[in-house]
Amino acid sequence: MVKVVAAVIEQDGRILICRRRNKDGSAGKWEFPGGKQELGETEQECLVRELREELCLVVRPGEKIETVRHDYGGFSVEVAFYRAEALCGEMKLMVHADAVWTQKKELCSYDFLEADIGFVRWLAESK
Ligand SMILES: Nc1nc2c([nH]c(=O)n2[C@H]2C[C@H](O)[C@@H](COP(=O)(O)OP(=O)(O)OP(=O)(O)O)O2)c(=O)[nH]1
Ligand SMILES: [Mg+2]
């Protein structure tokens, strides 16, 4: 079971989502920025590190919204979705093909990674 932490960064009713590069697994799918938790690292530390590495953003982790387990057939993941606040940094795409600040209600029109689909539906309906 691979443990993954992902960030839900909301600003002015919009949420930051990122598109995976074609060379990655799950090519071209949309996701919340984040990545695999390293040994000896807390979930919050992982979130801060991943957002710095992937987008050059300094974030402050907020509440854990939900944990989702998903079997991709061959490997399974446990994704912890955290709210996060972007403190500073100019966003720069280091690993993703694209990033979009989407309206919450438009979230469902993006082709997300399988593990995220239920969560995305819930988030799109949330206030
Ligand atoms: N970042 C992220 N990964 C997700 C999400 N949903 C989901 O199933 N995953 C899966 C895809 C990957 O199999 C795994 C970790 O993804 P990752 O590619 O971001 O890991 P990483 O940043 O540490 O990258 P790497 O060092 O392994 O290249 O979690 C999500 O919303 N965000
Ligand atoms: Mg990642």
The structural domains of the chain, with segments of one domain joined by +, span 2-122
4 close to ligand 1 (CB < 6 Angstrom): yes
Q: Report the length, in residues, of the chain.
A: 127
- pLDDT tens-place string over residues 30-88: 999 999 999 999 999 999 999 999 999 999 999 999 999 999 999 999 999 999 999 98
In this structure, is the dihedral angle defined by the CA atoms of residues 36, 41, 43 and 46, taken in order, positive or negative? Answer: negative
Q: Who's near 91: CB < 8 A, 6+ residues apart?
A: 55, 56, 57, 99
Which atom number of ligand 1 is nearest to the Cα of residue 20? Answer: 18
- Ligand located closest to 24 CA: 1
ipTM: 0.97
Q: Which CATH number fits domain 2-122: 3.30.70.270, 3.40.50.2300, 3.90.79.10, 3.40.50.1440?
A: 3.90.79.10
Helices (H), 1-127: 43-55, 117-125
Q: How many helices (H) and strands (E) does the chain have?
A: 2, 7
Chain segment 82-121, per-residue pLDDT in tens: 999 999 889 999 999 999 999 999 999 999 999 999 999 9
Q: How confident is the model at residue 2 (pLDDT cuts 50, 70, 90)?
A: very high
Comparing 26 with 58, the larger pLDDT belongs to 58
Pocket test for ligand 1, best of 22, 29, 31 (most atoms within 8 A of CB): 31
Whole-number pLDDT of residue 19: 98
Nearest partner of 112 among 47, 33, 32, judged by Cα = 32
Tokens for 109, please give them. Answer: 């029109």
Report the amino acid identity of residue 2. V
Q: How far apart are the C-alpha atoms of 68 and 108, rounded to whole Å?
A: 17
Q: What distance in angstroms lies between residue 106's CA and the mean position of ligand 2's atoms? A: 22
